[in-house]
């Protein structure tokens, strides 16, 4: 299974609406498997199809050792608010506090096409909201205030040149000096 190139901020694919999945095919399942492998290699806890340049409405998540596949996910309940420091595999090294719903219930299909519902709070809830945003062309920086977003974009200006053509090649990265404090925030 190949590692997929991760698209970074600036690639228009991250701003595109995804397309509902209408059939579970071996090709879709292979994409899901590759997304898990890529997410693990990037030490992330969530990855959505647009982040690997794809239009399928699919995301993968792994929180507390529990993998979840979300096909055509929808938030059907939300409650309360919480603030969480988020990062994104598509905006490496950039972090910011985002206000999210404290608890969400998501309805989706799994890798076999079975519909299920999953409740999430804390990291799982934040991660599901972050990945579902990706599936509708939205990024966590869109939730920041104008001033914070300007700060973040200035930081990103110094980072982005490492990613020619907006592609991040995980196979060439060395993560030894990453800050482990951010291990749960790469979504």
Return the active site residues.
131
52 interacts with Zn ion by CB under 5 A: no
Return the residue of 61, 63, 71, 88 that touches Zn ion, per CB under 5 A.
88
Provide, rounded to whole angstroms, the least separation between the CB of residue 91 and Zn ion: 7
Both tokens assigned to 28: 């879709």
170 binds Zn ion, rule: CB under 5 A: no
Residue 137 CB burial class (10 angstroms; 0-12, 13-18, ≥19)? middle
- Nearest to Zn ion of 47, 109 (CB atom): 47
Interface size with Zn ion, residues (CB under 5 A): 2
Min dist. Cβ of residue 21 to Zn ion (A): 19
* Residue number, 24 or 137, with CB nearest to Zn ion: 137
* Residue closer to Zn ion (CB basis): 9 or 118: 9
Residue range at the interface with Zn ion (CB under 5 A); choices 85-93, 117-125, 144-152, 170-178: 85-93
Q: What is the Rg, in whole angstroms, of the alpha carbon atoms belonging to the chain?
A: 15
Give the nearest distance from C-beta 70 to Zn ion in angstroms: 13
DSSP code string of 112-159: TS-EEEEEEEHHHHHHHHHHHHHTTT--GGGGS-HHHHHHHHHHHHHH
Q: Which residues of 25-43 are buried (b: 16+ CB within 10 A; e: fewer)?
A: eeebeebbebbbbbbbebb
Q: What is the closest distance, in whole angstroms, from the C-beta atom of residue 20 to Zn ion in the complex?
A: 20
> Taking a C-beta distance cutoff of 8 angstroms, is the pair 53, 11 a contact?
yes
- Rounded CA-CA distance 167/73 in Å is 26
Strands (E), the chain: 6-7, 46-48, 58-63, 66-86, 96-109, 115-121, 167-168
187 is a site residue for Zn ion (CB under 5 A): yes
Q: Kindly tell me which of 24 and 85 has the beta carbon lying closer to Zn ion.
A: 85
Nearer to Zn ion, 88 or 104 (CB): 88
**Using CB under 5 A, which of the segments 15-23, 55-63, 73-81, 179-187 binds Zn ion?**
179-187
Min CB(114)–Zn ion separation in Å: 26
Q: Rounded CA gap, 45 and 28, in Å?
A: 20
Which residues lie near Zn ion (CB under 5 A)?
88, 187
């Amino acid at each position: 299974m190949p590692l997929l190139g991760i698209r970074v901020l600036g690639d228009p694919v991250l701003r595109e609406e995804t397309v509902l999945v209408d059939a579970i095919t071996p090709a879709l399942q292979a994409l899901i498997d590759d997304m898990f492998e890529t997410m693990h290699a990037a030490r992330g806890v969530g990855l959505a199809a647009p982040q690997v340049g794809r239009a399928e409405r699919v995301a993968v998540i792994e929180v507390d050792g529990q993998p979840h596949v979300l096909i055509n996910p929808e938030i059907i309940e939300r409650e309360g608010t919480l603030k969480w420091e988020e990062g994104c595999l598509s905006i490496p090294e950039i972090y910011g506090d985002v206000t999210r719903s404290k608890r969400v219930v998501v309805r989706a299909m799994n890798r076999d096409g079975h519909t299920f519902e999953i409740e999430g709070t804390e990291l799982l809830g934040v991660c599901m909201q972050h990945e579902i945003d990706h599936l509708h062309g939205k990024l966590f920086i869109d939730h920041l205030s104008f001033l914070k977003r300007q700060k973040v974009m200035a930081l990103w200006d110094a980072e982005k040149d490492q990613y020619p053509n907006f592609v991040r090649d995980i196979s060439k990265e060395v993560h030894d000096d990453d800050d482990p404090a951010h291990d749960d925030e790469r979504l």
